[in-house]
Structure 1
Amino acid sequence: MLWPLSGLGIETFPTWAVVLILAVEIGIRLAVLGIIPENRRPQTAMAWLIAIFFIPAVALPLFLLIGSAKLSARRQRRQARINEEVLRATRGMDLSDQLRDLDEQLGATAALNRNLGAFPVQDGNRVELISGYEDYFDQMAAEIDGAEQYVHMLFYIIAEDPVAAKVLAALERAAARGVTVRLLYDHVGSMRTNGYRKLVRRLRAAEKEWPDCFQWRRALPIRPFRLRFSRPDLRNHRKIVVVDGRTAFTGSANLIESHYKRRSAQRMGRHWVELNAKITGPAVTGLDIVFATDWYAETDENPALTRHGHPMMVDIEADEATRGGSLAQVVPSGPGFPDENNLRLFNDLIYQATERLVICTPYLVPDDSLLYALTNASYRDVDVVVLVTEKADQFLVQHAQQSYYQALLEAGVRIFRYPAPDVLHSKFMVVDQDTAVLGSSNMDMRSFTLNLEVTLMVVDDEKIAEFDAVLAEYFRISSEVSADAWASRSWGTRYLDNVSRLTAALQ
Structure 2
Amino acid sequence: MTWHQIIELIVTLNAILAIITVFREKRDIAATWAWLLVLTVFPVFGFIIYAFIGRQMPHKQLTRVQQQVAVALDKRLDQQRTENGSEANLADEITTGAATMVNMFMATDEAFLARKNRVKIFTNGDDLFHSLIEDIEAAQSSIHIEFYTFYADNIGTEIRDLLVKKAKEGVEVRVIYDPWGSMGTNTRFFKPLLDAGGYVERFLGTRPAFIDFRLNFRDHRKIVVIDGKEGYIGGYNIGDQYLGRKPKFGFWRDTHLRIVGSGVFALQRHFMMDWNATDRAHPFSEGELVDKYFPLIKVKGDTTMQIVSSGPDSDMQQIKMGYMRMIQQATKTLWIQTPYLIPDDSVLDSLRCAAMSGVDVRIMVPDKPDHPFVYRATQYYARQLADDGVKIYYYHNGFIHAKTMVVDGRMASVGSANLDFRSFKLNFEINSFLYDEKLAKKLEEIYQEDIDKSELITPQKFADQSLYLKFKQMFSRLLSPIL
What TM-score does the superposition give when structure 1 sets the normalisation length? 0.85
Match of 2:240 in 1: 257
Q: What is the root-mean-square deviation of aligned Cα atoms in Å?
A: 3.2
**SS of 1:338's equivalent?**
coil
- Structure 1 residue 78 and structure 2 residue 70: aligned? no
Residue number in structure 2 paired with 1:291: 271
1:218 aligns with 2:194: no
Read off the aligned partner of 2:337 and give its amino acid letter: C
Determine the structure 2 residue equivalent to 1:439: 415
Is 1:388 paired with 2:368?
no
**Contact 2:15/2:39 (<8 A) preserved:** no
Structure 2 residue aligned with 1:14: none
Matched letter for residue 8 of structure 1 = I
Per-residue displacement from partner, 1:420-446 (whole Å, max 9, x unpaired)? 6x2111111111121111111111111
Q: CA deviation at 1:30?
A: 5.6
Distance 1:160 1:260 in 2: 14
Shift of 1:51: 2.4
Measure the CA separation in 1 of the matches of 2:478 and 2:292. Answer: 43
Structure with greater Cα Rg: 1
1:140 has 2:140 as partner? no
- Among 30, 35, 41, which residue is 1:48 paired with? 35
Q: How many angstroms apart in 2 are the aligned matches of 1:74 and 1:305?
A: 23
Cα distance, 1:240 vs structure 2:
0.9
Equivalent positions of 1:151-300 (< 5 A) are 151-192=143-184, 196=185, 200-208=187-195, 210-211=196-197, 214-223=198-207, 231-258=214-241, 265-266=246-247, 270-300=250-280
Distance (Å, rounded) in 1 between the aligned partners of 2:24 and 2:482: 15
Kept in 2: contact 1:289–1:313 (CA 8 A): no
Aligned match for 1:360, one of 333, 337, 341: 337
Please state whether the residue corresponding to 1:123 is helix, strand or coil. Answer: strand
Aligned-partner residue type, residue 134 of structure 1: D
Amino acid at match of 1:274: D
Using the size of structure 2 for normalisation, the TM-score is 0.89
Separation in 1, partners of 2:365, 2:402 = 9
Q: Secondary structure at the match of 1:497?
A: helix
1:105 maps to what in 2? 97
Counterpart of 2:302? 325
SS of alignment partner, residue 438 of structure 1 = strand
For the residues of structure 2 that align with 1:242 and 1:366, how far apart are their CA atoms? Answer: 31
1:482–1:302 distance in 2 versus 1, CA, 3 Å: same
| 1:338-417 equivalent positions in 2, closer than 5 A | 338-417=315-394
Deviation at 1:408, TM superposition (A): 0.5
Change (3 A) 1:291 1:139: same
Equivalences for residues 425-436 of structure 1 within 5 A: 425-436=401-412
Distance 1:23 1:412, change over 3 A: closer
- How far 1:337 moved relative to its partner? 2.2
One-letter amino acid of the structure 1 residue matched with residue 464 of structure 2: S
Residue in 2 that maps onto 1:15: none
* Percent of matched pairs sharing the same residue: 26
Shift of residue 139, structure 1, vs aligned partner: 0.8
CA distance in 1, matches of 2:89, 2:33: 44
Query: For residues 235 and 209 of structure 2, what CA distance do their matches in structure 1 show?
Result: 33
Consecutive unaligned residues of structure 1, counting only runs of 5 or more, are 11-17
Whether 1:471 aligns to 2:469 is no
Amino acid at match of 1:121: L
Q: Which residue of 2 aligns with 1:123?
A: 115
**CA distance 1:225–1:411, shift in 2 (3 Å):** closer
List alignment gaps of at least 5 residues for structure 2.
none
- How far is 1:313 from its partner? 8.8
Higher deviation after alignment, 75-84 or 113-122: 75-84
Matched residue, 1:456: 432
Distance change >3 Å, CA 82–CA 235, structure 1 → 2: farther
In structure 2, C-alpha distance between the alignment counterparts of 1:225 and 1:153, rounded to whole Å: 20
When residues 82 and 378 of structure 1 are mapped into structure 2, their CA distance, relative to the original with a 3 A threshold, is farther
Counterparts of 1:481 and 1:96 in 2: how far apart (Å)?
45
Distance 1:229 1:136 in 2: 32
- In the alignment, what sits opposite 1:495? 471
Deviations 1:338-379 (A, max 9, x none): 211111111111111111100011111111111111111111
Moved more, 44-53 or 400-409: 44-53
| Whole-angstrom CA distance in 2 between matches of 1:160 and 1:33 | 37
Match of 2:400 among 414, 421, 424: 424
Closer, same or farther: CA 503–24 of 1 in aligned 2, 3 Å: closer
Change (3 A) 1:459 1:313: farther
Report SS of the residue matched to 1:189: coil
Higher mean displacement: 492-501 or 89-98: 89-98
- Tell me the distance in 2 between the aligned counterparts of 1:224 and 1:218: 8
Please tell me whether the aligned partners of residues 332 and 360 of structure 2 are also in contact (alpha carbons under 8 angstroms): yes
